[in-house]
Amino acid sequence: MTRIDFDVFYRSSLDGSARLKEAPWAGAAPHRGLVAIQDEGGICSPVLEVGCGPGDNAIHLARHGHRVIAVDVSPTAVAEAVLRAQEARVPVDFRVEDATRIDASVGDFSTIVDIAHFHRLDDPERSLYLKALRAVSHPGTWLVLLGLSDRAPASAPGLRRLSEYALRTSLSAAGWWVRSMRASVLGAPSSAGSDPAWLVEAERL
C-alpha cells in the first residue's frame, strides 16, 4: 500500500500565514455522521479522537461540553488544531501521538472517535492500533468509526477499502461489539471525498 507522510501532506497545504488553506480530510467542519451521533446522545465524556487532523471534530464535541483529548501523528495538523480551538474558545487537549502506539497513561475514555483513520492502516498497524485502543478504554466504552467502504469504485493512495465483513471481523476479534453500521460518505475535499463509507458504532466488551 502507498504510504503517506501526513506531516508533509499538511505542510503542503499551508498558506503564507502558516495556516492550512483548507482541511484536507475534514473540510473545515465536523463530519456530519459524527454530528448526528452527538445529537442523538451517542457521545459520552471523556472522549479520545484519534487521527484528529486539524481538529474540527474534536472542537465540535468540546463545544457540546465534552472533555476531549485528540491525537494526530502530524505536528503541523496539531498546531493548526490548537489554533482553531483557541479561535473557537473551547478547551481541547491536542497531542502529537502515533495512534498505533498511544500510551495508556493518556487516560481511560468513555468514547473513542476515529473519523477516516482506520482505513489508512495496513494489517500489522491495524492490530497495533486496536491493541492501543484497548489500553485506553474499558468495558462499555463506545467507539465511533468512519472508514472507506468497499462500495467505493477505487481507493485513493494510502487508503484501503473496507468491507462490512472485514470491519466486523477486525473489531470483533479485538473485543468490540458492533452495535450499528450504516452507510455514509467520507465527506471531505480529497480525491476520495465523496466516496461511500461505513459509519460504525461499537461497544467494548
Q: Can you give the CATH number for the domain in which 48 is found?
A: 3.40.50.150
pLDDT at 190: 47
Q: Which domain holds residue 29?
A: 6-204
What b-and-e string marks burial along 119-141, b requiring 16 or more CB atoms within 10 Å of the CB? Answer: bbbeeebbebbbebbeebbeeeb
* Cell numbers representing residue 200 in the block: 460504525
pLDDT at 152: 82
Distance in angstroms (rounded) separating the CA atoms of residues 164 and 171 = 11
At which residue does the C-alpha cell 498546531 appear? Answer: 79
Sign of CA dihedral 15, 19, 24, 29: negative
Residue 1 in domain: no
* pLDDT, one tens digit for every residue, the chain (205 residues): 445 677 776 777 777 666 776 655 545 689 999 999 999 999 999 999 999 999 999 999 999 999 999 999 999 999 999 999 999 999 999 999 999 999 899 999 999 999 999 999 999 999 999 999 999 999 999 999 999 999 887 766 668 899 999 999 999 999 999 999 999 998 754 444 578 999 999 999 9
* Cell numbers representing residue 189 in the block: 475535499
Count how many domains the chain has.
1
Residue 85 in domain: yes
pLDDT at 2: 42
Residue 65 in domain: yes
Sign of CA dihedral 88, 94, 100, 104: negative
Asked if residues 169 and 14 have their Cβ atoms less than 8 Å apart, the reply is no
pLDDT at 26: 47
Residue 103 in domain: yes
Order of strands, sheet of 176-185, starting from the edge strand that comes earlier in the sequence: 93-96, 68-72, 47-50, 111-115, 142-148, 196-204, 176-185
CA 136 to chain centre: 15
pLDDT at 24: 52
pLDDT at 19: 72
Asked if residues 77 and 140 have their Cβ atoms less than 8 Å apart, the reply is no
Residue 129 in domain: yes
Residue 197 in domain: yes
